[in-house]
Amino acid sequence: MSLSPGTFGAQTRPEEAWLELHRKVSGWLPSEGEQYAELDGDWYGPSNAGSGEPASTKIKQNLITWPGYNYEVSFDFSPRPSTGSGDNILQFNWDGGLIDTLNGAGAGNTNWSSHTYDLTATGFSTELMFADAGTSNSLGTFLDNVSVRCIPPVIPVCGDGEVNNDGEVCDDGNTENGDGCDAQCQPEEIYADYCGDGEVNQEWEQCDGDEGCTQYCQWEEQNECSDLVLARVNVDEVKNWGAGDMSSDVYLGSAGNKIPAGTWFALYYSGAGITDADLSGYENVEGLAVQRLAGTVRAVVHGTGTNNDKEHIHGNIEFYNATVTDQDNDPSNALPGANGLEDGFNGTGTGQYNASNDEVWISDATHSNFWLTTTTADDGFYSDWQIVEDCVGQICGYKYNDKDENGSLSEGDEGLENWTIKLLQFTACEEGDEWADSVVDYTQGTRRNGTPILAERTVTTKALGAAQNNDSINFVSLGFGGELILGFNNLIVNAAGNDVQVVETTYGNQVCNTYPEKADVYASQNGLDWIYLGNACLDSSFDLGTLSWAQYIKFVDATSLADFTNVPEADGYDVDGVKALNCASAVTVVETQMTDETGHYCFETATPGDYRVQEELQSNWHNTSDWFTDVDFNGENSLNVDFFNAVEEQAPQGSICGYKFYDADQDGVFNNNDYGIDGWKIFGLGGSLTSTYTNENGEYCLNALEEGTWNVFEELFTLPGNWATTTVATRTIELSSEGVIGINFGNILCTDADEDGFAANGGAICGEQDCDDNDSEKTTDCSEEEPNDPGPNNPGGGGGGGGGSFSNLVIHTENTGNGPESLTVLITWFTNKPATSRVVYDTVSHPEPGEAPNYGYQWSTPQTDTDPKVTYHEVLISGLDPNTIYYFRPISSASPEVLGTEVSYQILENGEVIVEETTPPANEEPNPGPSAQTPQGEETSAAGGAGNTGIVAGAEFEEPTLLAQGGDAVPTQQPDRNQPQETAPEQTAQVGATDCVMYIWLLLVINIITIADLAYFGMNAANNFAKQLWWMLAILVAVPVILGYAQCWLVVWLLITLVIAIILYFSVIARKQQHS
């Protein structure tokens, strides 16, 4: 709609306004996509010789909204470059009211600012309008990236943190049991940690509720000697009179440490007794107050304060691994009332429920009994105990055949006989002795261009001692293909976490994914037999793996020539220093034991100190638990260390096997939260070229191979997105008559949603972490959010390469392109596992797919790639009409079918191609609640989106454009407003057919009522045609509803028929009144 005068010079303003769209004009950048709109445009486009005409324009849309709902409206505004603020004034209106006015002066390029407003709809239709209010001279006011998103109201539910629903008594913000308010928002009894709660949550507990776990929360027959002393309060009866509030609960050490009666608690553990704060601080509780003291247990029942309010409890205190030696009256008067007992210590006063019949007595060696009734005074007593066994500590344990490989004792696991268990001690290094001390060997490589490394970079001693960590020549360069071996006077000890740190020098704080200088790192105890630790990229740390200790570290340069094509002087990996993170000057084998026929071993004579208990792994076995454990032994308390092993799976003769895995922690090792990836191709190159695909667990085997040298490598060129390797991409294997296993390949998907060069899942491979991956800049404060690593439970979605889950079939990287002949299109996509290929297509969009097999689309290609299935898919479709928009949706099946993203494709007569991703993946959930939908009106929509297709307020429109030399872009032809345009909502305002059902029924009912009135009043009409109007109108309503039920275009159609029916109704009424 134009706001300009009718004439300018010799020109006459066109009847309908033309919206000027810019695409690649003068190098000016859009805010989003590839084009934007200028609201002060041209009358006749670049073909018009004139300029400066008053062409201020306003654009608007009538959105279907829901009264009372909130809507988030956002858009981007920029002044036209090199124009004043008076030329760039934007007015934003909502529902007929001015919301905001923006202006600014233009600089050398566009200067976009984003604006977001929270607005409320008052009716079922709301007008959204933008208008140029600056000087009307065909220059100024840029608009882009308009979006409207419905925000449904919050429905009160249990777990929202507020008691706002019928039946809710509490609401703690979650729906979990065990925190005082249960999953139904009802209060629940809460106890502190206790033996019997199913969790190992106290230091002295070995187990809790597991098979083989005793009532004392200790493993059966694990330690032959223990100093653990336990007690529990067994309650036989509780009675209350008046306002008495006695319960069977036990308050152990404080009012906040409530545990159920009958549960064991510790009195003595690991050579020390457990003591509590004085009982006077928590005596007034609704239960039995218990205080642990050295060699005794104190228990008190609090008096109610009046003779009419009486409480009673009786039962016993039972001891484990201790005997009751005496009972004493509690004479304390420090509490609110005296704690004395009114009767005695022989059990004769039981059976009467009055305050003068308190009684305690010892019935046997492990039970201290009590019968207590109280009114105004407090009843308290002491139970003295003595430990049964005061142990001489031992370090013992079992060696198990872990048949289910779960790393713990399970049914069917058996002890292993004649396995060697060693008791070791390490002597710690002096501070500063953790760094490499000597150069054992140096094989110099070359620079990227083949020339020798500069002499100043070949001084090997620069790799010794503490690293300088600066941008000086403090390092030795390996060169491409070079090798370096460093020795330590001390030992690098395998302990918890990483054990060796490598410091590499690269100037300018580079990260691995932009400057990948790499080296393979090995460790050895003797300098001859090497264990591969992993691939270092810049600074790196490694675990020693299967080595208990090491004294030599070897580097083999693994920097790729291809990564440094533009850096001819690059000289490979640079070693600044190598540090033993866990350093020892010596290791001593204190004692060696062999397991007996049950798998048991025991070190009985160890003196107090720090030890390592370590198994000696036998061939064809692997660990399912840690193969060593470091312990602090005090000489008095026995320690238990178990080892679990399983028989090693053997590769078939003449086979090379391994895994393709998602390396979540980017450490190059298949461990922790890593998981196998299926459907990836692995090659073997030796006497011949062979290949295979990984299975659902990520496992592969190259079989029937000849003996000799084989290069095993993964297929990298099909990796979608920002994937990177975390292990060596090619492994060289010397294959003998026996097979080889463990040849694994790791990958990580570096997620960089805002494309600022920093990944959300930063690490050794993905580089520095971006804690907010949606703000187009690096954010280093990660205190509130964890990195987003797309793992098996965190899929990235279906379309556009955003997938991260490999447990289910995922379609990604959908694309369309010209086929080999004219009017043909090639549809391509990837899947994360082998699957079939098929494409459904139509000339109308289907944002919400219908029923199988074609899901609402008119045509389908035959299903291909059924045997074998593939991960890269391509389907060629021919016979397309020019100037027609086609909508395609790829479909793959690995059982069941999965639908990809719908994409549109149009070939113009001039050969230009328009491609647009139209809808989100079909398997993503639509946004709940009513959303903004664009009806087909007379107003021109604002620009946005990619290519020549725009997304505005949730609706897509098509406008081919030409670019003018003067910076103006106009449509090549006037849009045909008589043809309905299919809309494809964005995710921010997604509308499916089901969203229109309510409006269809509402309008249908109103139509029926109006047609019925028309039929009633038309029966007496003089004109026979008037009598027949009602049924003709009924057909116009019924037939489209039957044929296109639930389609949103019916809303528009029923509005039209309703208007016609109302006009005819009042016309008949008027004629009838004239005749009467």
Condensed to tens digits (0 to 9), the pLDDT of residues 32-78 reads 999 999 998 888 777 666 678 888 899 999 999 999 899 999 999 99
Which pLDDT tens digit goes with each residue over 557-572?
Answer: 999 988 898 899 999 9
CATH number of 438-580: 2.60.120.260
Q: What is the band of 547 on the pLDDT scale with cuts at 50, 70, 90?
A: confident
The amino acid present at 859, given as its one-letter code, is W
In the numeric block, the tokens 């005061």 are attached to 390
Residue 628 Cα distances to 428, 534, 622, angstroms: 18, 21, 13
461-464 contacts at long range (C-beta below 8 A, 24 or more positions apart): 462/576, 463/436, 463/439, 463/575, 463/576, 463/577, 463/578, 464/435, 464/436, 464/437, 464/438, 464/439, 464/577
Q: Backbone phi, then psi, for 1039, in 5-degree steps? A: -60, -50
Give the C-alpha separation, 904 to 884, whole Å.
Answer: 10
- For residues 816 and 704, the model is more confident at 704
- Contact, 640 vs 223, CB < 8 A? yes
**For domain 395-428+588-647, is the CATH number 3.30.70.1450?**
no
- For residues 618 and 462, the model is more confident at 462
**Does residue 994 surpass a pLDDT of 60?**
no
Lowest mean pLDDT among 182-196, 601-615, 902-916: 902-916
- For residues 916 and 888, the model is more confident at 888
**Does residue 885 surpass a pLDDT of 80?**
yes
CATH number of 811-917: 2.60.40.10
Q: What is the band of 1074 on the pLDDT scale with cuts at 50, 70, 90?
A: low
Q: How many CA atoms lie within 13 A of 461 on its CB side?
A: 0
- As a whole number of angstroms, the longest Cα–Cα distance in the chain is 124
Q: Which parts of 444-496 are beta strand (E)?
A: 476-477, 483-493
- For residues 876 and 378, the model is more confident at 876
Lowest mean pLDDT among 860-874, 877-891, 900-914: 900-914
- For residues 30 and 718, the model is more confident at 30
Residue 832's pLDDT is 63
The stretch 614-624 carries a mean pLDDT of: 85
Residue 477 Cα distances to 444, 458, 513, 556, 574, angstroms: 8, 6, 20, 11, 4
CATH number of 656-749: 2.60.40.10
Residue 844's pLDDT is 92
999 in the Ramachandran plot: left (φ > 0), alpha (ψ -120 to 50) or beta? Answer: alpha
- Contact, 953 vs 92, CB < 8 A? no
Residue 354's pLDDT is 79
Please state whether beta strands 70-78 and 142-151 pair in parallel, antiparallel, or not at all (unpaired). antiparallel
**Does residue 782 surpass a pLDDT of 70?**
no
The stretch 932-946 carries a mean pLDDT of: 30
Indicate the average pLDDT of the chain: 81
Which pLDDT tens digit goes with each residue over 102-158?
Answer: 999 999 999 999 999 999 999 999 999 999 999 988 889 999 999 999 988 878 889
Q: Backbone phi, then psi, for 1049, in 5-degree steps? A: -65, -20
Residue 799's pLDDT is 32
Q: Which parts of 475-548 are beta strand (E)?
A: 476-477, 483-493, 500-504, 518-524, 531-537, 540-542
Same fold, 395-428+588-647 and 656-749: yes
Residue 463's pLDDT is 94
Give the C-alpha separation, 898 to 817, whole Å.
Answer: 22
Name the residue ranges covered by the structural domains of the chain. 7-152+934-986, 154-189, 229-387, 395-428+588-647, 438-580, 656-749, 811-917, 993-1075
The stretch 279-306 carries a mean pLDDT of: 89
Which pLDDT tens digit goes with each residue over 438-469?
Answer: 999 999 999 999 999 999 999 999 999 999 88
Q: Which of 920, 989, 928 lies closest to 954 in space, CA to CA? A: 989
In the numeric block, the tokens 């080296």 are attached to 519
Residue 913's pLDDT is 62
Q: Which of 921, 811, 923 lies closest to 871 in space, CA to CA? A: 811
**Does residue 384 surpass a pLDDT of 80?**
yes
Residue 976's pLDDT is 34
Percent of the chain with pLDDT over 90: 39
**Does residue 968 surpass a pLDDT of 60?**
no
The stretch 898-919 carries a mean pLDDT of: 69
Residue 882's pLDDT is 85
Q: Backbone phi, then psi, for 1002, in 5-degree steps? A: -60, -50
- Give the right CATH number for 7-152+934-986 from 2.115.10.20, 2.60.120.260, 2.60.40.1110, 2.40.128.110: 2.60.120.260
- Contact, 833 vs 868, CB < 8 A? no
Q: What is the band of 575 on the pLDDT scale with cuts at 50, 70, 90?
A: very high
Residue 940's pLDDT is 31
Residue 957's pLDDT is 26
Which pLDDT tens digit goes with each residue over 635-647?
Answer: 877 889 999 999 8
3-state secondary structure (DSSP) of residue 629:
strand
* CB-CB neighbours of 278 under 10 Å: 13
Q: What is the band of 721 on the pLDDT scale with cuts at 50, 70, 90?
A: low
- For residues 658 and 993, the model is more confident at 658
